[in-house]
A and B are shown apart, each in its own frame.
Chain A
Amino acid sequence: MGYTESAWRRQQRSWAALSALHPASIDLGRTALIRGADVESLSDPHRLASLIVQLGLNDEALDEFPAELHAHCGQGLRIWQYPLQFARYLARLSTLRIRSYLEIGIRHGGSLVATVEYLSRFHPLDFAIGVDVIDCPSIAAYRDDRPEIAFWCTSTQSGDFAARLDRLEGLDLVLIDSHHVEHQCRRELELLLGRASLIAFHDVANIGCPGVRTVWEEVRRLPGYECFEYVDQYPGLGPFMGIGLAVTRERLRQVDAG
């Protein structure tokens, strides 16, 4: 099917919300806040949400953020997450002994960096990979500090991406946060089912991303997975964002068995 005017309208709306197509640099110095925090406070979603605010939030689509957070937007790691959702999600991940991470759709790289730093406080990561069709210069700088990080500038719809996945030796967690279109989201899920024991989606509650919600509902019906949702909202907004996490029951059994 060809590119249609309605497809353009959706794309145009998304791009118009961005300050620029190319990602901005992020302040990697803010990672010190995670490295310096005690594990007890990192495990507490309430205190972790406050820390995420201090890490810095994105300022694109600013109307999706409550006014009280605007002073923290457009700085630091430029994390494009709701702190109260992201904190509960990360706190859950901290219990799952994650050793490898793939994030699809990283934009400025803030969520990737925050997730890597956070998980590393609980269990060493063998590797983490960011994927995006747009180059992300901040990740190149981050690699100077963390050589276990890689960036793949490629499309998940390409043979190149599938070939790179085939070369990976095991994969624990994937976060899908890319094109937010149903068919692409489903294609990414199909590629990653059976490879990753934890599959997360961003924007499962976002009113602007019905395709993501549709695919997430399909995941929730899959046998062999336990699903968790982090979709808390700020009063008077949205619903926006929302994280869905699917964990294989086998993985949960392994964690419970220690």
Chain B
Amino acid sequence: MSTTVREIKNIVAKIKADPGLSARLPDSADLIDEVGLDSLEMLQFMLEIEASLAVQIDFDRLEFSTLRSIRTLADFLDRMPPWRPSAP
């Protein structure tokens, strides 16, 4: 299992407040139908992803279909540039 896949599962488990969830989720798990993230949880999920993986997600390119599999999302995130905080 890749580091990114493991991190996605850990974040999902944290947001759903279910510590055992990360071990139960297959790499192919669908974040919408199987995990059941709603719009607010999706925002929290993306924030956690950016912070923990230190990437800046390109939301122009992130398609709904990418969220249908943890592995597919991990592949997408692995291609994202590093996160850079903007100056005041």
Binding site for B on A (CB under 8 A): 2-3, 5, 7-9, 11-12, 15-16, 18-22, 24-27, 74-76, 78, 133-134, 155, 157, 179, 181
Contacts and interface: CB of A to CB of B under 8 A. Distances in A.
Contacts of B83: 20, 22
Interface residues on B, range: 20 to 34
B42 A20 contact: no
Main secondary structure of the interface of B (DSSP, over half): loop
Interface in B64-88: 64, 67, 83, 85-88
Interface string B35-56: 0111110111011001100001
B57 interface: yes
A3 B86 contact: no
Contacts of B44: 133
Nearest to A26: B88
B52 to A, nearest CB: 12
A19 B39 contact: no
Q: Which of A3, A12, A22 has the most CB of B within 10 A?
A: A3
Contacts of A15: 46, 57, 59
Given A15-B46, A22-B50, A25-B87, 13 more contacts: A2-B38, A3-B32, A3-B38, A7-B39, A12-B59, A12-B60, A16-B59, A21-B46, A21-B47, A21-B57, A24-B85, A24-B87, A181-B39
A11 to B, nearest CB: 6
Contacts, number: 69
Name, among B42, B47, B88, the residue most crowded by chain A CB atoms within 10 Å (CB to CB): B88
A133 B37 contact: no
A8 B67 contact: yes
A133 B15 CA distance: 13
Nearest to A28: B88
Nearest to A76: B88
B75 to A, nearest CB: 18
B3 to A, nearest CB: 21
A18 B59 CA distance: 9
B33 interface: yes
The 8 closest A-B pairs by CB, nearest first: A16-B59, A15-B59, A24-B86, A27-B88, A25-B88, A8-B64, A5-B64, A16-B60
B36 A22 contact: no
B37 A3 contact: yes
